[in-house]
Structure 1
Amino acid sequence: MSYDKVKQAGKLSIGTKQATKAVESGIAAEVFVAKDADPRITNKMVNLCRKVGVPVTYVDSMKQLGKACGIEVGAAIAAVVNE
């Protein structure tokens, strides 16, 4: 399951702004997007990832993604960052 990848990641950029920075600066290895997040937020990220060739993995919910990231709140987007 993809949540394991998030849990095992050495470094994460959690949230839209942080993940966008990671993708734009070329350090994001993979981006996780919650299916229940607002498409107005996630579509930009998905398009950016396609443009720069970063793989996007969809996960079921913001709540589970936040939990996998080790935070108490839901997360719409999280990027696994190359160390």
Structure 2
Amino acid sequence: MSLEPLKAARKKTIGAKQTLKAVEKSQAKEVYWASDAELHVVDPILRICSSKNIPIVKADSMKDLGRACNIEVGCAIAAIIEQ
């Protein structure tokens, strides 16, 4: 799946803590997670997304997801707040 919408998003969260808050408040429009991220970090957030019907997109790696977020390190999970 393409990470272009995340790159182009005006407002996004980067990382587990920020993304969890956005998901709990139902602010996240779409959540992106890295396939090589540690499951104990992303799994609780993905479960909440499923229960709230928030779309989930799987990225190939933390490195790719970090690049899509315009950061120089890997990222386990991120979300679009505003397109």
Q: CA RMSD in A?
A: 1.1
Q: Which amino acid aligns with 1:42?
A: V
SS of corresponding position for 1:78: strand
SS of corresponding position for 1:23: helix
Query: Gapped runs of 5+ residues in structure 1?
Result: none
> Match for residue 29 of structure 2?
29
User: Is 1:11 the counterpart of 2:11 in the alignment?
Assistant: yes
User: Within 2, Cα distance between the matches of 1:82 and 1:72?
Assistant: 22
Report the Cα offset of residue 19 of structure 1.
0.3
> Match for residue 62 of structure 1?
62
> Match for residue 82 of structure 1?
82
> Match for residue 40 of structure 1?
40
Report the Cα offset of residue 45 of structure 1.
1.0
User: Within 1, Cα distance between the matches of 2:28 and 2:5?
Assistant: 13
TM-score by length of 2: 0.94
List structure 1 segments (4+ residues) > 6 angstroms apart after TM superposition: none
* Identical-residue share of aligned pairs (%): 45
SS of corresponding position for 2:45: helix
Query: Gapped runs of 5+ residues in structure 2?
Result: none
TM-score by length of 1: 0.94
> Match for residue 51 of structure 2?
51
User: Within 1, Cα distance between the matches of 2:26 and 2:40?
Assistant: 23
